[in-house]
Amino acid sequence: MNSLKAGRNFAEDISEHYLRRLMGVHPDSRHFRLPVKIHSVENEQLPESFDSREHWPDCPTIKEIRDQGSCGSCWAFGAVEAMSDRVCIHSDANVHFHFSAEDLVSCCSSCGFGCNGGFPGGAWSYWTDIGIVSGGSYNSKQ
């Protein structure tokens, strides 16, 4: 079993103001919510632990950690990473597609404010209504 050891990800001289800028889910995102689906798990046996990397080893995006740089675009990165994973899982690992966070940040005017925060729900609506181009990490040519 793998274990996680949490630690400092940024140098000690990085200001709290800088780190807060990276947390890009806009405070108004609570007004842009998708419909909620409720599932009952009362009678289901849940495993004690679950590692999606082990359950879907042929879906490479599950193992990837993309770098948002100094842009408050976690709302876009989180959305496209989940989309990429879901497409791979749904296709039984036959489709490996990297959705582009840059496309959302640059082109989705209804998703928020680019690097200054956005709406995760808007990203999902944009995908279903408009579509999102492919693209992995910046300059990766994916």
Instruction: State pLDDT tens for residues 55-75.
Output: 999 999 999 888 888 888 889
The pLDDT tens digits of the residues spanning 92-103 come to 999 999 999 999
The pLDDT tens digits of the residues spanning 22-42 come to 666 666 666 666 777 887 777
Residue 127 has pLDDT above 80, yes or no: yes
User: Residue 55: what pLDDT?
Assistant: 94
Q: Is the dihedral of CA 111, 68, 117, 89 positive or negative?
A: positive
Residue ranges of domains in the chain? 71-142
The band of 137, judged by pLDDT with boundaries at 50, 70 and 90, is: low
What is the Rg, in whole angstroms, of the alpha carbon atoms belonging to the chain?
17
The band of 76, judged by pLDDT with boundaries at 50, 70 and 90, is: very high
**The pair of three-digit structure tokens given for residue 27, joined into one six-digit string:** 């405070």
User: Residue 60: what pLDDT?
Assistant: 93
Q: At what angle do helices 74-90 and 120-129 cross, to 10 degrees?
A: 50
Mean pLDDT for the chain overall = 84
Q: Per CATH, is 71-142 categorized as 3.90.70.10?
A: yes
